[in-house]
């Protein structure tokens, strides 16, 4: 039977993907993306049920995040995520229960114990540094973290994630420039989902690609299809290699799209057409990857069914666990303004 050109390309890309990361990791990527999407959808449900006041999530950007995470060494490399990085966090090793505890603002939430809005990630065991709401402020922190790692002679790299809107801030410029001048081992990872709340990319910058901004700092800039986790994995892996070899930072743009409103407080119908959202869903990274797995003979309906059941169990467990977990104790509200005496060296 004759193959069409498109199929030929597709199967080639499956081969390339398999060669690049191996079947096991490809399957792990798919599992994390499916789990992330299911958790994400549940978060919106509990918000709409009035059980939690606010959510901000990752739907549409799962491939970019899982591809990047798989190129890092969890607990070894330093990570500064942003609020849309739920899939990244899952892939690095934050558990579904921990993510749900965060959404429910429980005492046991390891990110902030209910002090911050959901999705402001922090986890010392994974070297995930605490972040804030002001967009872009983590970018100079990443340069500083990389500086510290280099001074100590570690071979770890620092990974810093943000949206394209963040690239308009002064801190983006100051942080990237600093890292470039000092040739620090940092990966600046921009998830360009084409909107900063309602403001489209063309009102954010006069360049076509975020990666073009790299030239102004004298560093490597790469743009990659953010719906293809393998392509992202490869680009981030190369940036990690460069950083570890002392060749300095890389600015990566993963071109992607968010399928849901900016947050649970946003109505995206005001600023983008349903048609546009539907169009972009045709490149939903989850079915795209599933097709590739099927084509490579790594996946079938039975496995899909088993995964869906496993994921549903995990999401139910995480939700039930978090819902029943105790809220933070108001008596602790004034704690941790400063180091507590016992902790002082």
User: To the nearest whole angstrom, how small is the minimum distance from the Cβ of residue 79 to ligand TPP?
Assistant: 17
Return the residue matching tokens 């798989």.
Answer: 70
Whether residue 173 lies in the annotated active site: no
d(CA 256, CA 42): 22
d(CA 2, CA 170): 55
**120 lies in the site for ligand TPP, by CB under 6 A:** no
Whether residue 271 lies in the annotated active site: yes
> What is the pattern of x (binds another protein, CB under 8 A) and - over residues 77-106?
-x-x--------------------------
Out of 124, 134, 218, 327, name the contact with ligand TPP by CB under 6 A: 134
Out of 174, 295, 304, 323, name the contact with another protein by CB under 8 A: 174
CB closer to ligand TPP out of 229 and 261: 261
Q: Which residues pair with 223 in a beta bridge?
A: 253
Q: Which residues pair with 190 in a beta bridge?
A: 162, 253
Please report how the helices 138-151 and 170-181 are oriented relative to each other, as an axis angle in degrees rounded to 10: 20
**Segment contacting another protein (CB under 8 A): 128-136, 192-200, 275-283, 290-298?**
128-136
Whether residue 213 lies in the annotated active site: no
Out of 258, 259, 292, 321, pick the active-site residue.
258
Instruction: Report how far apart, in Å, the C-alpha atoms of 202 and of each of 160, 192, 217, 321 are.
Output: 23, 12, 21, 43
> What are the structure tokens assigned to 187, written together?
């990966």
User: To the nearest whole angstrom, how small is the minimum distance from the Cβ of residue 130 to another protein?
Assistant: 4
**Other C-beta atoms within 10 Å of 57: how many?**
28
Start-to-end C-alpha separation, the chain = 73
**248 lies in the site for another protein, by CB under 8 A:** no
CB closer to another protein out of 107 and 207: 107
**138 lies in the site for ligand TPP, by CB under 6 A:** no
Q: Cβ neighbours of residue 117 under 8 Å, at least 6 residues apart?
A: 54, 56, 83, 133
Active site residues: 258, 262, 271
Q: Which residues are near ligand TPP by CB under 6 A?
A: 84, 133-135, 162-166, 193, 195-197, 262
């Amino acid at each position: 039977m004759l193959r069409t050109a498109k199929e030929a390309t597709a199967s080639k890309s499956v081969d390339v993907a398999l060669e690049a990361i191996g079947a096991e990791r490809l399957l792990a990527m798919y599992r994390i993306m499916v789990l992330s999407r299911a958790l994400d959808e549940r978060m919106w449900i509990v918000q709409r049920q009035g059980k939690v006041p606010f959510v901000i999530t990752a739907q549409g950007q799962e491939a970019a995040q899982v591809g990047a995470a798989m190129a890092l060494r969890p607990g070894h490399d330093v990570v500064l995520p942003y609020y849309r990085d739920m899939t990244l966090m899952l892939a690095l090793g934050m558990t579904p229960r921990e993510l749900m505890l965060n959404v429910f603002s429980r005492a046991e939430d390891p990110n902030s114990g209910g002090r911050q809005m959901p999705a402001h990630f922090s986890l010392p065991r994974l070297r995930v540094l605490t972040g804030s709401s002001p967009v872009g402020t983590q970018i100079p922190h990443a340069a500083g973290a990389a500086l510290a790692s280099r001074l100590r002679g570690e071979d770890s790299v620092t990974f810093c994630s943000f949206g394209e809107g963040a690239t308009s801030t002064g801190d983006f410029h100051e942080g990237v420039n600093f890292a470039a001048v000092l040739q620090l081992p940092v990966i600046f990872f921009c998830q360009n989902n084409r909107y900063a709340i309602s403001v489209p990319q063309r009102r954010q910058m006069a360049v076509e690609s975020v990666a073009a901004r790299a030239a102004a700092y004298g560093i490597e800039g790469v743009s990659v299809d953010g719906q293809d986790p393998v392509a992202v994995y490869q680009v981030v892996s190369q940036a990690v290699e460069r950083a570890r070899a002392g060749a300095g930072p890389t600015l990566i743009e993963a071109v992607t799209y968010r399928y849901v409103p900016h947050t649970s407080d946003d109505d995206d119908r005001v600023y983008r057409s349903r048609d546009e959202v539907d169009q972009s869903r045709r490149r939903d990274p989850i079915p795209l990857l599933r097709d590739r797995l099927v084509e490579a003979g790594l996946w079938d309906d039975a496995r899909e069914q088993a995964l869906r059941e496993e994921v549903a169990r995990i999401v139910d467990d995480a939700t039930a666990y978090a819902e029943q977990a105790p809220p933070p104790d108001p008596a602790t509200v004034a704690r941790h303004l400063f180091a507590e005496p016992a902790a002082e060296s």
